[in-house]
Amino acid sequence: MRDDEIQSFHQDCVELAQEKHARGQLSRRQLMQAMAALGGAGLATASAHAQGTPRELVMVNWGGLANQGFGNFYGDPFAAENPGWRVVQDSSGPATGRIRSMVESGRVAWDLCDSSASGAKLLGGLNLATKVDYSIVDRANVIAPVFALEYGAAPYSFSSVLCYDSSKLPTPPTGWADFWNLQRFPGTRLLRRDAVCSLEAAMISMGRPAYPIDVRAAMRRVGELRRNLVFWTNGSESEQLMRTGEAVMGQVWHTRASVLERESNGRIKFIWNQGILQPGIFVIPRGNPGGVMAQRLLGSMLAKPEPQVGLLGLLGNGPTNPRAAALVPAELKRFNPTDPANERQQVAIDGNWWGDNYQQVNADFIDAITG
């Protein structure tokens, strides 16, 4: 299960928001709204359930600005269109173990949980999640099949992209083969301390399809860079290593790459070509208290492009509705992972493959890079 992938990404969004506030790019009011939501959401949820408050949907995320973003852009509009219902944000983190405990005990308190493609597959396979009812949730409201799965659907997206320092690499790299070309592009590289996306990049660098991943070949390929490779564990670390010049190239989240490009006035650049596009999947725990209304909320999150564009502006997360691209302001198109010009250059992550293989493959990956 990829709880840590989504949790790490959202924790990084929190850190990024705090850094933007420190730089004067985010107002104190915006930051305080988010932090207040972070501190109070869990208590509000617990209180509401203790009192048996009816007609409430609980949306669970990983905290920070996600409370503000999901609340303002998804929860509030849905409540306005469905009198008698409200959407409560819970930032306590929808970890697989907690979902499993709730479902198996018959005491489910959550309706909609921020997960991942591989997480949806795992939860569905364990009979812990409800199938998405696509008579309510319209598949036509997403741009790619990976955003509408059997046990989850994605109202946002993010990408892992190739970022580079143009002052040290005057010839720009064009893809992962260049990332592995130490003669033409000398210098230290960055990868995340995680097999997801690292192994896809290794496969693509060899001129092979990203999936199915040939684990042994991809691991050997990563090993070729060992003397010129450092690993990051959080987004701020990846940004710092690029900013200070400790690395000349790296695979980083597009949100961090966007900040680097803007703040370095284009010295540090990134490319969408061969980026790994990942869906932000929401799942419905089996036996959720809101019943079918959770399906309607999920359908609403996918159906309206305007809120997704708002989320792009606030968090940097990409829209998934096909009508959203036309609404994205010109200055944000470059940084939108699902803009048609950007999306067509990328590879969509295979959540089914990772759902079946992550635990063992990632353990082997960590052993290989630390051994």
Look at residue 152 in the predicted model and tell me its pLDDT: 97
Give the pTM: 0.82
Q: Does residue 112 lie within any of the structural domains?
A: yes
- Same domain, residue pair 12 and 73: yes
Cα end-to-end distance, the chain, whole Å: 24
Is residue 220 scored above 90 in pLDDT?
A: yes
- Same domain, residue pair 107 and 129: yes
Domain count of the fold of the chain = 2
- Same domain, residue pair 88 and 169: no
The domain that contains 56 carries what CATH number?
3.40.190.10
Is residue 122 scored above 50 in pLDDT?
A: yes
- Same domain, residue pair 282 and 272: no
Q: Does residue 346 lie within any of the structural domains?
A: no
Residue 327 CA: distances (Å) to CA of 69, 70, 297, 313, 318:
18, 19, 22, 12, 12
- Same domain, residue pair 37 and 184: no
Q: Does residue 370 lie within any of the structural domains?
A: no
Residue 266 CA: distances (Å) to CA of 46, 67, 320, 335, 342:
47, 31, 27, 13, 18
Distance of CA 31 to the CA centre of its chain: 21
- Same domain, residue pair 216 and 260: yes
- Same domain, residue pair 169 and 261: yes
| Per-residue pLDDT tens over the stretch 221-270 | 999 999 999 999 998 999 999 999 999 999 999 999 999 999 999 999 99
> Domain containing 178: what range?
159-276+351-364
- Same domain, residue pair 90 and 224: no
| Per-residue pLDDT tens over the stretch 136-195 | 999 999 998 999 999 999 999 999 999 999 999 989 999 999 999 999 999 999 999 999
- Same domain, residue pair 133 and 167: no
- Same domain, residue pair 302 and 182: no
Buried b / exposed e along 61-90 (16+ C-beta atoms within 10 A): bbbbbbbbbbbbbbbebbbeebeebebbbb
Q: Does residue 343 lie within any of the structural domains?
A: no
- Same domain, residue pair 122 and 243: no
Look at residue 65 in the predicted model and tell me its pLDDT: 77
Q: Does residue 15 lie within any of the structural domains?
A: yes
